[in-house]
Structure 1
Amino acid sequence: MNKSNKIKIIFLILMTSVGCSRRNLTYFSDLDSQKGATFEIANKSEPRIQADDLLSITVTSLNPESNMLFNAGVIIPSEGNNTTISAPINENYLVDKDGYINYPVIGQIKLEGYTKQGAVQRMSELLDAYVKDPIINIRFMNFKVTVIGEVQQPNSFVIPTEKITVLEALGLAGDMTAYGKRENVLIIREKDGIRTANRLNLNNKEVLSSEFYYLQQNDIIYVEPYKTKAIQADNNPRTFALISSGLTLAVILILNFRDMFTN
């Protein structure tokens, strides 16, 4: 075999090895395949109300007029001391930048920082002077997470149950592609005016105990691509030319060193 053919063969081998680096595509690959594992759920935390959250608040009691009044209904006095009650308006309450909502009759109520249960307790205290034994229900109307990067269907997803894990979010996005870095998933979170970024290794079972395993409202999940995907996505011919030139030079140097030692 002449020297030119040797260069071509070695060049092809090097090109193949660049695109065939071994990657671990298995989630929690360190779990025992026979025994599995048991974890105490200690990392689940209730979402807390934040600025810009959109809340649905409904009040139910034995008094129909109070129900309409505190559910954005309108009470219209009529002749003969009769009262006409209009249908409630489907209105949600936006938490402003200072953490307050503007609620009928009561006015400004600060709910930022409360869990839903804490907010219900706070509302009950304030409504006690107006409604007897009210039943209050609060829901997040814009509890959403965003999944971007190397997934099949990047998007923002509204979560009606207000409970979701990072695995469930990836499932909504169609799972990662083969080019997604499972060992380096980025979670971006805003809480109490602070933005944090944390990386999860989904090859490692310890992520099941991470505080970022359960997502909070407005979390962003970014799946980083492997370098091979970045190279493939680069349409600049100069990039391929430089790679080819570098590999060719490496082959020539290898052959020259081999000839020096064999002659």
Structure 2
Amino acid sequence: MKTNVIYLLVLLLVSSCASKKEVLYMQDAMTEASGEVKYNSATIQPNDILKITVETLVPEAALPYNKTSSQGMQPQNVQLLQLEGYLVSLDNTIKFPVLGEISTDNQTTKQLETTIKEKLVSGGHLLSPTVNVRLVNAKVTILGEVNQPGTYSFTEQNITLLQALGYAGDLTINGKRNDILITREVDGLRKVSHIDLTSASFMNSEFYFIKPNDVIVVNPNNPRVKNAGFVGDVGTILTIASLALSITILLSR
């Protein structure tokens, strides 16, 4: 009788625990993590908000090409930057003072700086202007088995997947670390990728750096699914069958 009870307890513990291999990050970091870090800039997308400033040696000459707040001062926080920014339309254009409509299609912020500068010079508007373009509404959405799911804004040009997960307070112990789902929209196309955080190989993929509007989904691991009352795989079914058989034997004695 006691032996059967111990057997049942062992089965329950084994079926509800995550192994060390499922929990640890980048277990092969010593062999897979080394390599060149390739920084990249995301292309400008519809609904992006851009802060664009134009400067010259004579500040007054650049005034017609800059937006200022109603108080005549440059905005200092992100919310004001967004209000004073240029919203990219669904056809990938912005309306710029004096120059009119400018295409942002398939351009990074750096490329758009060059485009605007060339238009200012070739059109005889300004001599040797300096143009700065900055994305001010970059965000990433993180859902699922993390401590603080939600949508997070960031101002850096490049943040990594691990940094983004850090914003959400890291994965819970129930997060499935070997199958992180990332969806990304680029130039009207949607990409979906599955990332294994238990291996450092993802650091050499295009999804190591997060791009604006990425969605990260952390699904629950098998123990979490089992605890929720769902049957996850054949092993679970066999475990349940073994428990049922053992209980039947105990009751028949």
TM range (shorter): 0.7 to 0.9
Aligned to 2:87: 94
Q: SS at the partner of 2:102?
A: strand
Quick one: structure 1 residues 245 and 159, their matched pair in 2 at CA, closer, same or farther if it must change by over 3 Å? closer
Aligned to 2:135: 140
Matches within 5 A, 1:114-125: 114-125=107-118
Deviation sequence 1:52-110 (CA, Å, 0-9, x none): 11000011113344322111359xxxxxxxxxxx8267521000000000111111100
Separation in 2, partners of 1:200, 1:120: 34
* Larger CA Rg, structure 1 vs 2: 1
More displaced stretch, 12-21 vs 150-159: 12-21
Separation in 2, partners of 1:159, 1:106: 30
- TM-score, structure 1 normalization: 0.79
Q: Contact 1:149–1:222 (CA<8 Å) still a contact in 2?
A: yes
Q: SS at the partner of 2:7?
A: helix
Aligned to 2:14: 17
Deviation sequence 1:98-130 (CA, Å, 0-9, x none): 000011111110012111211011001111121
Q: SS at the partner of 2:95?
A: strand
Shift of 1:157: 1.5
Q: SS at the partner of 1:10?
A: helix
Q: SS at the partner of 2:210?
A: coil
Quick one: structure 1 residues 216 and 246, their matched pair in 2 at CA, closer, same or farther if it must change by over 3 Å? same
Gaps of 5+ in 1: 75-85, 236-241, 256-263
Q: Contact 1:72–1:88 (CA<8 Å) still a contact in 2?
A: no
Q: Contact 2:40–2:158 (CA<8 Å) still a contact in 1?
A: no
- TM-score, structure 2 normalization: 0.82
Amino acid at match of 2:179: N
Amino acid at match of 1:102: K
Percentage of pairs with the same residue = 34
Q: SS at the partner of 2:15?
A: helix
Separation in 2, partners of 1:217, 1:228: 32
> Is 1:63 paired with 2:58?
yes
1:204 aligns with one of 195, 199, 205:
199
Amino acid at match of 1:221: I
1:106 aligns with one of 99, 104, 117:
99
1:160 aligns with one of 138, 155, 159:
155
Separation in 1, partners of 2:68, 2:29: 55
* Cα RMSD, aligned residues only: 2.8
Q: Contact 2:185–2:191 (CA<8 Å) still a contact in 1?
A: yes
Separation in 1, partners of 2:158, 2:147: 22
Q: Contact 1:55–1:92 (CA<8 Å) still a contact in 2?
A: yes
Q: Contact 1:68–1:88 (CA<8 Å) still a contact in 2?
A: no
Gaps of 5+ in 2: 76-83, 231-236
2:29 aligns with one of 21, 28, 31:
31
Q: SS at the partner of 1:124?
A: helix
> Aligned pairs, how many?
232
Separation in 2, partners of 1:143, 1:103: 21
More displaced stretch, 63-72 vs 209-218: 63-72
Aligned to 2:233: none
Aligned to 1:180: 175
Q: SS at the partner of 2:209?
A: coil
